[in-house]
């Protein structure tokens, strides 16, 4: 506004210029005012109404009560909004904590799963090694038993020959020959001869 006045007035020292600047400073802003809530009686049907000072006081009191009520409601709304924002923030925080908890639990489960898998693999390797060692031991024992069986088979034949020679020699007073050791197959099992071959 001041800029407009300066643009219009060339010389402020002139009488006309001073008058305009003074009138500019004395302008008042219009206040927005609401009409008072002046309540009429229902039985009144006339045109013009004159209000008594007491009615105006009552109307102003009602206006103050209404203004206080509005301010209170506005404050309540602001409080509700703040509470809602805090509740949303709290909910978000709880959801974040739950998510972090789930992720931590998932990582722990994966670690436990990995540990169990490693343990199972270790046990399986150990069993495999034991099995291989047992197989090696068994095959070694079987090969040794095969050698023993071969050596045992040669022994009884010699004894029989000796026994036969003793019988042929006629020395009937000697002790009877011990029974031959049982025959064993390649797996080390005893072979029983059928009765008809005995």
pLDDT tens for the 198 residues of the chain, in order: 667 666 666 665 666 677 776 776 665 556 666 776 666 655 655 666 667 888 888 888 989 999 999 999 999 999 999 999 999 999 999 999 999 999 999 999 999 999 999 999 999 999 999 999 999 988 888 887 766 655 555 555 555 555 545 445 555 555 667 777 778 888 888 888 788 877
Long-range contacts of 64-70 (CB under 8 A, 24+ apart): 66/37
Give the C-alpha distances (Å, rounded to integers) separating 97 from 8, 53, 87, 92, 100: 68, 65, 15, 9, 5
- pTM value surpassing 0.75: no
pLDDT at 24: 66
CA-based Rg of the chain, rounded to a whole angstrom? 62
Long-range contacts of 134-142 (CB under 8 A, 24+ apart): 141/188, 142/186, 142/187, 142/188
pLDDT at 43: 60
Residue 17: is it exposed, middle or buried by C-beta count within 10 angstroms (0-12/13-18/19+)?
middle
177 sits in the region (left: phi over 0; alpha: psi -120 to 50; else beta) called beta
């Amino acid at each position: 506004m001041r800029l407009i006045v300066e643009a219009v007035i060339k010389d402020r020292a002139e009488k006309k210029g001073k008058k305009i600047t003074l009138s500019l400073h004395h302008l008042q802003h219009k206040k927005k005012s609401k009409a008072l809530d002046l309540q009429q009686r229902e039985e009144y049907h006339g045109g013009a109404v004159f209000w008594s000072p007491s009615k105006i006081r009552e109307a102003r009191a009602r206006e103050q009560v209404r203004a206080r009520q509005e301010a209170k409601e506005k404050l309540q709304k602001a409080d509700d909004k703040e509470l809602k924002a805090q509740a949303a923030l709290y909910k978000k925080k709880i959801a974040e904590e739950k998510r972090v908890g789930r992720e931590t639990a998932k990582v722990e489960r994966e670690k436990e799963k990995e540990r169990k898998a490693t343990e199972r693999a270790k046990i399986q390797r150990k069993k495999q090694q034991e099995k291989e060692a047992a197989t090696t031991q068994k095959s070694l024992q079987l090969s040794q038993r095969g050698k023993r069986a071969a050596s045992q088979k040669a022994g009884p034949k010699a004894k029989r020959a000796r026994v036969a020679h003793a019988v042929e020699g006629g020395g009937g007073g000697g002790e009877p020959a011990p029974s031959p050791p049982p025959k064993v197959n390649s797996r080390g099992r005893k072979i029983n001869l059928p009765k008809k071959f005995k």
